[in-house]
Structures are given as C-alpha cells and as structure tokens.
Structure 1
Amino acid sequence: MISITKARQLALAFEEAEELPHFEKASFRVRKKIFATLDEKKNQLVIKLSQVDQSVFHDWNSEIIFPVPGGWGRQGWTIIDLKKVPVSVFKDALSLSYCQTAPAQLAAKYLK
C-alpha cells in the first residue's frame, strides 16, 4: 500500500519534478509534461507507460495496475490502485513513467 503522502513524495523526488493542478487532480510534471496524475478521492495514480510496459504491469496483476478505459489507455495511460500496490512495484512503474516523459539527460539518471 502507498499512502497519498508517499505517492506525492516519490513523484516529487525525481529531478525537476513539480506538482501542478490538473482539473480536479494533482499532476506531476517534468519540464511541463505530465508523467503522473493523482486522484486522492479514488486512491489512484495514473501514469504514462509504453504499451509494452503497460502490458507487463497489467499481466502482473490486472486488479492493481490496468489501462485507463478508452483511448487514453490505448495511448499508455495506466491506473495504479494505491491501496493494493507493493512499494517496489509502484516505484518501478513511476520511474518508467518519469523516464519516458523526461528529456534523455534527466531520464538517464534513473534508468537501471
């Protein structure tokens, strides 16, 4: 389980990450590009993944990590249930989202 506070802390730990409002949610951005949104009411974080990464996480556990319904999901936007996700899996998924969104020189610092 990841608390709202911990999710926010981990998202803001990336270099140049900032939190800004996005409609009724908080968004986490790097150089003005969103890599995650936080829905506190639903205890969910939505991240941007490649289709391959989205498929891998979804196959791992489709009740915890799954595509956003419709076109956004087909573009890689992926929901994470914060009440159920293990910390290590959350960190891996969030890092992939940041690295996919950030410029290469920033992403390189977090790639394993």
Structure 2
Amino acid sequence: MADARDFRRICLSLDGTSEAPHFDHRAFKVKRTYATLAADEQTANIKFTPDEQEFKCMLAPEAFQPVPNAWGRQGFTTVTLANVSVEELRSAVEMAWRHAVPEKRKSRRTRK
C-alpha cells in the first residue's frame, strides 16, 4: 500500500511540479494546485473532474471520498493512502496533474 513518501515522490516526478506549504498541508502544483498532503500524512486531496471523482469513489470507496464541502463538489477528493496501491495512487495523481498542467507540457509526463 502507498504512503506519504510514495505520494510526494510521485507528485515531484511529474514535469513542472513544485511543493509548497498550504495552510497545514503540503501543496503540489504546476500552473495550479492539483494535490495536497495532509499534515498527518495519512491522507491526500486530489483534484479530479466531478465525473472522475464519481468514478473513483464508486470504484474504491474505501480509498476515495469526496471532500465534504463545496471543494468536494468541484472534484476535490480525499484519498486514504494506506488503502491504495502505489500504482493506483500514481494513476490518480497523474490524472489530476494533467488538468493542472499547461497544454504545452502535457506531452512530457515525467521529468528526465
């Protein structure tokens, strides 16, 4: 199962991603924030489209839940890191990254 080190490593491997403090979380962004890591490092929030969020939450409700407020209605989804494999986490993070990255970077998925 995945942990905070996996999450951070995956995020920072994606082209153009930087890490910065965001309230009590760590934010990962390119042009805009696409994921945050909670202070306790047990959960992360990932920005999906509402359709992607619905699919992930239906497919793996033990791992993915909508953030319970207006942010959740915009697609922000909490992932319980211990309940996903590293491969599932990478897929979810890459999906969110694609929405945040400027068009000209989308073809360069990871840093070389």
Give TM-score scaled by structure 2 length.
0.91
1:100 is paired with a residue whose SS is helix
Aligned residues: 109
Gaps of 5+ in 1: none
Say whether the 8 Å CA contact 1:100–1:107 is kept in structure 2: no
Separation in 2, partners of 1:7, 1:61: 18
CA distance in 2, matches of 1:40, 1:87: 20
* Equivalent in the alignment of 1:20: 20
1:60 partnered with 2:59? yes
Higher relative contact order (CA 8 A, sep 6+): 2
Over aligned residues, Cα RMSD in angstroms? Answer: 1.2
Cα shift at 1:42: 5.2
AA of the residue aligned to 2:27: S
CA offset digits 1:15-40 (Å, max 9, x no partner):
11000000011000103x10100014
Gap runs ≥5 in structure 2: none
Cα deviation code 1:53-112 (max 9, x no counterpart)? 1111111111211110011100000111001111221111100100011111212334xx
Q: Tell me the equivalent position of 1:102.
A: 101
1:86 aligns to 2:85 (yes or no): yes
- Alignment identity in percent? 28
The residue number in structure 1 matching 2:5 is 5
Q: Which runs of 4+ in 1 moved over 4 A?
A: none
SS in 2 for 1:108: coil
- Write the distance in 1 (CA, Å) between the matches of 2:70 and 2:80: 20
